[in-house]
Each structure stands twice: as C-alpha cells, then as structure tokens.
Amino acid sequence: MRVLVLSDIHANLTALERVLADAAQTGYDVVWCLGDTVGYGPEPDECVDMVRRLSDLTVVGNHDWAAVEKMDIDDFNPEARHAVVWTRKQLSPENWSWLRNLPGTPETKGEFTLTHGSPKVPVWEYIQSPDVARANLEYFTTPYCLVGHTHVPALYVWREGDSNCREISPTPGQALSLGGGARIILNPGSVGQPRDKDARASYAILDTDRATWQVRRVSYQVETTQAHMRVAGLPDRLINRLSFGW
C-alpha cells in the first residue's frame, strides 16, 4: 500500500493542489493527514473540504482546535492569533464540526502510530531533537510513529542498545528503508508553510509493502497564496515567510 502523508497544510490550497498533482504522477492508495489543515493561510474552508474528501485518516492539530475554539489561543503569537480569529469566520458549519470531532489522541494503523505533535503530548509538543524523540518512544508501541507540527522533514531512528536516537534529514526524492528492526519517528514536513529554509511544499510517500519512506518537495505558485492572503488581510509576516521557507 502506498500512503500519501500530508501535514501542516495550513489553509494553503495552492500548495495542497500542487502536492496532490505531484503525488498522482507516481500514484498512492490512501491519504493520511497529520493535522493543522487550517491556520495561517487564506483557504481554510477549501482545504478542509479537500482533506475531508480525500483522507482516510486525519488527526487534529493545534491550529485545528484553535479554529473551532477547543484551545486557548493566548499562547499563540500575535500573527497566529490574528489568523485563528479570521479562520473561525471562514469555516462552514460542516467543516467546523468535522475539525471539532477529529481525534486528539494518537491513532494506530498497523505498524504506524499517527499524531500531530508527539505521542506524549499529541496536539502541542514539538519533536525537534533526538532527546525529545527518545523520551517519546515509551508513549507508543508500534515500530513507527508519524508526526508533524515542526514543519521540518526529519527522521529519528532508535535501535536496541542505542543510548539515544539518531536524527536524519531526508534527501528529497530518496526512498529510505524502514527495515532492520529500528523504531522510527517520521515527519513529512509541511505542505503549506515549510520552515527549513526551503519554500517548496513538503510531503511523504510511505510504501508499506516495500517498507520505504520518501519525502518529496514540489514548487508551487507562492505568489498566488500570498496574493490571496493580502486580500484576506492576513499579517505581512505570515505572507512574507512563505517566500523563504521559515
């Protein structure tokens, strides 16, 4: 089975459509989404419509919960708070209800655990270092855990006898083997707001039959998304960062 793994779309419809077109060239069987379909970007309702239609499994992200008033936004920075308040006014009742009912705890699909932030703190914790990754191994029992939230593609690999996880920054387009008995935390990066100084949308293809993971990067019309954000009156910082991938 080939799984299209999406995360942190952040209401960027132009990026999402480009990712789907790119993934269709090689084919996929199912779609898993690791949360934050909305937030920051200019097309929250349209992106939720698309994810609802395509995804076989979606978990909730912090911006998803914030948009449907299930999370206090006092800890969000001013630009993020602005986007949350704006997003709340854009969602249809059906999409509001769908986001509100997404699972806020990790979901399991065979050998894979899916969550947004971490298995320990599903909606909020960032896994950005080997130490944090290692501490999270005791919070899931499957060999593999898929996470998002950081907007940076990465793998954290631990083998029996290792004192800590090994961090890997994947090369786009290169399929990595998941075999060998390792436990691995995998992040596909962000579709709609990359933060690794690469402005291209990021996603992953998981092949469960071949036990491979491939992060893919694809360019999209950033200027189109930025123009839509300006029309919506979203903050300049959110608009400008898309050009630089930070």
> Which tens digit of pLDDT belongs to each residue from 22-72?
999 999 999 999 999 999 999 999 999 999 999 999 999 999 999 999 999
Among all chains, which residue has been given the structure tokens 């004192």? 163
pLDDT computed for residue 215 by the predictor = 98
Distance of CA 110 to the CA centre of its chain: 20
Q: How far apart are CA 180 and CA 135, in angstroms?
A: 21
pLDDT computed for residue 228 by the predictor = 98
Per-residue pLDDT of 92-136, as tens digits, reads 999 999 999 999 999 999 999 999 999 999 999 999 999 999 999
Residue 154's pLDDT band (cuts 50, 70, 90)? very high
Residue 221's pLDDT band (cuts 50, 70, 90)? very high
State the CB neighbour count (10 A cutoff) for residue 208: 17
This prediction has a pTM of 0.98
Residue 210's pLDDT band (cuts 50, 70, 90)? very high
Does position 179 have pLDDT exceeding 90, yes or no? no
In whole angstroms, how large is the CA radius of gyration of the chain? Answer: 17
Structure tokens that stand for 117 in this block: 């932030």
Does position 216 have pLDDT exceeding 90, yes or no? yes
Report in angstroms the alpha-carbon separations of 129 from 118, 126, 133, 164, 209.
Answer: 12, 9, 6, 10, 29
Q: Can you list the domains of the chain with their CATH numbers?
A: 2-241 (3.60.21.10)
Return the DSSP state at 81. Answer: H
pLDDT computed for residue 180 by the predictor = 85
Structure tokens that stand for 11 in this block: 């209401």
At a CB cut-off of 8 Å and minimum separation 6, what does 222 contact?
14, 199, 242, 243
Does position 157 have pLDDT exceeding 90, yes or no? yes
Structure tokens that stand for 184 in this block: 């691995």
pLDDT computed for residue 19 by the predictor = 98
Residue type present at position 199: A
Per-residue pLDDT of 61-91, as tens digits, reads 999 999 999 999 998 999 999 999 999 999 9
Structure tokens that stand for 231 in this block: 């029309």
Structure tokens that stand for 177 in this block: 């083997």
